[in-house]
Structure 1
Amino acid sequence: MHRIMTGNALVAVLAVLMSLILGGLLIALTDPEVASSASYFFSRPQDTLSAAWAAASGAYLALFQGSVFNFEGETFTRMIYPLTQTLTVATPLICAGLGVALAFRAGLFNIGAQGQILIGATFAGWVGFTLHLPAGIHLLLVILAGMLGGALWAGLVGVLKARTGAHEVILTIMLNYVAVNLVLYFLSTPAFQRPGSTNPISPQLDATALYPPLLGPEFRLHWGFVVAVLATVFVWWLLNRSTVGFELRAVGANATAARTAGISVSKGYILAMAIAGALAGLAGVAQVSGTEKVLTSGVAASFGFDAITVALLGRSSPWGTFAAGLLFGAFRAGGVTMQASTGTSIDIVLVVQSLIVLFIAAPPLVRSLFRLPVPGAFPAPKRSKDRTSAATGGTA
């Protein structure tokens, strides 16, 4: 119990809980019914409290229906459709989040997942609509191309970090802008632009280059989610069961001590960024080959930046990142339903996500609010009966 109370997992759960509570208060404060009943709060406070509860609970219920289970659906397909939407949205978040988390474990702050997703999607999209290959082989090449694009884009940061000491934060920020404008340029060239169109959009990917539907054509969920699960297993194995993972964790814990122990820190930086970029490239493949089926400049949406939050919430652990990706996928999938059903602004979801980051970044605040013990502090040992008896003069 003491380990649970001092662990990071409990802090993450409580951070989410506090964010939902504060988000509910914000929903209540901005609700017209609450504002109307607040004018006579001191005469009938129960009206204001009940209106506040109805506003917050109704919004979160709509969020649940839009992201997990729609119990008002006419068929079973309509009931579970929100869950499949959550898994679809969570797929690129999980893949990109794993890349950010892996870099964190190696002591690198990789905030360039956005650009790595774009470059990975560009490589994957070009293979998808240019080459015409049999099923299976084509999709495999698309996946490998996406991973290669992301690995090259992030590996460049690792090389510059290892060889010149350049800071990875500055490099990844700049490369994000480079990636966005590079993709826009590509989409204006005949090699990428759809024939007969002046819009920056690529041709449709071949059917053999697309992820097959996972549960049938009624759902958008594709086999990219299974790839995300396999990527999570791979990162867990890499970090916890492999020599390479041990070296990466050693470099992240203390680069000087790792170098003294004979571990190549430069190699660790390059390898960590390359693998992180390959994982972000998988997120690009999920978008271009699974969800969008075309390449556009907005194919990465904001997944690269949300991946940073996902990795932070998951405490840079593979399965924690996986769970955080599912949570943020639910927020994104259910936010539209919440706005449509209750009129609550979808920006509330962004507020909740931001509050999660705030609380995750300040563990002492969460621990003080819930009076949790400080990590490393052990409970005072109970005195034995004999020692108690001796202390009381044997009268016990």
Structure 2
Amino acid sequence: MRTSPPRWADLALIPAVNLLLALLVAGLVVILIGENPLRAVELLVTGSLGSSYGIGFTLYYATTFVFTGLSVAVAYHAGLFNIGSEGQAQLGCLGVTLVCLALDRTHWLLVLPAAILAGAAFGGAWAFLPGWLQAKRGSHVVITTIMFNFIASALIVYLLVNTLKVPGSMSPESRTFEAGAHLPFFHEMLAAIGIRVSRTPLNLSALIALLAAGLAWALIWRSRLGYEMRALGHSEPAAVYAGIDPARIIVIAMVISGALAGLMALNVIMGSQHRFVLDSVGGAGFVGIAVALMGRNHPAGILLAALLFGILYQGGSELAFEMPDISRDMIVVIQALVILFTGALENLTRAPIERLLARRGAG
């Protein structure tokens, strides 16, 4: 009879083995194009973690992925596969932009609470209708969220070209915010206490991402609502028998999921770009799916998985610069291999590891 592996193996060992397999296959690809895979790994690690500059960019990318990974995870625990984090993040960017444009002549301490509410509200509102359609009309949330991604993209293009664009400008982007709507950078905050590090886009939203992870953990495992979400995710008939209203939980879970996706705008819009450009989200909503899967939909695992993808993004940029034969497209291939082995091919290693651990336990 097949038994589940220990929790430490499920959360740490299996993802680590899958990651190792992905890197080994990526190493074979590097060999095929005539480069040294060990040198590539060295450049990947040193480019992302070998200096304050690399660490800053790595954590900046990871911050975005924490928000989108938590977005996917919250919906997953309610038995929902939210593929719409990309569109929800785009609407969150719109909400944060509108607040910053209206209040940027004040102070960031006043702008930040309003930006948090706006990003969460716009992202949550964009997730509400797909959740309602599944709860009340049976329309599958996977299909509706995919459709809403396209609608969100078209809406943002229209607004940036026709409404938010600076008059006379050819660039589809909003005006740059005044200093009152800029989140403090980490290098500025550290300089204030005498610590000098390289200038990077890492900003205060990284701490907000950590807080969001903590609150997500408390919601899922330490609240009645979280219990109802997990009960529904495990078995809808059992949840109904226990008096849980599936329609209510589906809608609430999707709204919270969308709100978390919308909060990524704090990092990108208010934290670094200081304006709304056409590709502000840059696929982070889809990366969040991989982050959540690799992190086993647990906030602690999501933090680690987001850090890994931050390393791949920043280290990949340095790798492509130092090894021209390894193009940016090759870095995307490496990222895809990580997603493939940690997601789609997870059972490739799970069953052998379970048998090995079972034999060791029996012995």
CA positional deviation for 1:146: 0.7
- Of residues 11, 17, 22, the one that matches 2:20 is 17
Aligned partner of residue 298 in structure 1, secondary structure:
coil
TM-superposition CA deviations, 1:253-280 (whole Å, max 9, x none): 1111101100111111011111111100
Please give the residue correspondences for 1:87-236 in structure 2 after superposition, counting only pairs within 5 Å: 87-131=59-103, 132-190=105-163, 192-216=164-188, 218-236=199-217
Contact kept? 2:181, 2:274, Cα under 8 Å: no
Paired with 2:108 and 2:331, the residues of 1 have a C-alpha distance of 39
Q: RCO (CA 8 Å, sep 6+): is it higher in 1 or 2?
A: 2
- Of residues 311, 317, 322, the one that matches 1:330 is 311
Contact kept? 1:7, 1:375, Cα under 8 Å: no
Structure 2 residues without counterparts, runs of 5 or longer: 189-197
Bigger mean CA deviation after superposition, 355-364 or 97-106? 355-364
Contact kept? 2:229, 2:253, Cα under 8 Å: yes
Paired with 1:152 and 1:277, the residues of 2 have a C-alpha distance of 7
Residue 267 of structure 2 is matched in structure 1 by 286
Alignment-mate amino acid for residue 363 of structure 1: E
Residue 357 of structure 1 is matched in structure 2 by 339
Structure 1 residues without counterparts, runs of 5 or longer: 32-51, 70-78, 383-396
Residue 29 of structure 2 is matched in structure 1 by 26
Contact kept? 2:295, 2:301, Cα under 8 Å: yes
Alignment-mate amino acid for residue 186 of structure 1: L
Contact kept? 2:46, 2:315, Cα under 8 Å: yes
Paired with 1:291 and 1:135, the residues of 2 have a C-alpha distance of 13
Paired with 1:60 and 1:155, the residues of 2 have a C-alpha distance of 43
Residue 261 to residue 375, structure 1, CA distance change in 2 (3 Å): farther
CA positional deviation for 1:363: 2.9
CA positional deviation for 1:4: 6.2
Paired with 1:235 and 1:380, the residues of 2 have a C-alpha distance of 34
Contact kept? 2:14, 2:353, Cα under 8 Å: no
Alignment-mate amino acid for residue 123 of structure 2: G
Question: What TM-score, normalized by structure 2, do the two folds share?
Answer: 0.91
CA positional deviation for 1:372: 1.6
Contact kept? 1:139, 1:210, Cα under 8 Å: no
Please give the residue correspondences for 1:219-298 in structure 2 after superposition, counting only pairs within 5 Å: 219-298=200-279
- Of residues 7, 10, 21, the one that matches 2:10 is 7
TM-superposition CA deviations, 1:299-328 (whole Å, max 9, x none): 110101111111111111111111101100
Paired with 1:215 and 1:222, the residues of 2 have a C-alpha distance of 8
Paired with 2:263 and 2:7, the residues of 1 have a C-alpha distance of 34
Contact kept? 2:184, 2:203, Cα under 8 Å: yes
Aligned partner of residue 354 in structure 2, secondary structure:
coil
Aligned partner of residue 237 in structure 1, secondary structure:
helix
Contact kept? 2:11, 2:295, Cα under 8 Å: no
Residue 374 to residue 243, structure 1, CA distance change in 2 (3 Å): farther
Alignment-mate amino acid for residue 17 of structure 1: L
Residue 167 to residue 323, structure 1, CA distance change in 2 (3 Å): same
- Of residues 330, 337, 349, the one that matches 1:366 is 349
Paired with 1:363 and 1:183, the residues of 2 have a C-alpha distance of 36
TM-superposition CA deviations, 1:125-158 (whole Å, max 9, x none): 0110123434311122112111111010011211
Residue 266 to residue 202, structure 1, CA distance change in 2 (3 Å): same
Residue 106 to residue 5, structure 1, CA distance change in 2 (3 Å): closer
Aligned partner of residue 188 in structure 1, secondary structure:
helix
Alignment-mate amino acid for residue 15 of structure 1: N
> Which structure: larger Rg?
1
CA positional deviation for 1:198: 2.9
CA positional deviation for 1:380: 6.3
CA positional deviation for 1:122: 0.5
Residue 327 of structure 2 is matched in structure 1 by 345
Paired with 1:142 and 1:373, the residues of 2 have a C-alpha distance of 46
Paired with 2:13 and 2:292, the residues of 1 have a C-alpha distance of 16
Question: What TM-score, normalized by structure 1, do the two folds share?
Answer: 0.83
Alignment-mate amino acid for residue 184 of structure 1: V
TM-superposition CA deviations, 1:199-236 (whole Å, max 9, x none): 21101123222211122282221001111111111111
Alignment-mate amino acid for residue 282 of structure 2: A
Contact kept? 1:119, 1:149, Cα under 8 Å: yes
Paired with 1:93 and 1:337, the residues of 2 have a C-alpha distance of 20
Residue 83 of structure 1 is matched in structure 2 by 55
Alignment-mate amino acid for residue 291 of structure 2: V
Aligned length: 347
Contact kept? 2:11, 2:301, Cα under 8 Å: no
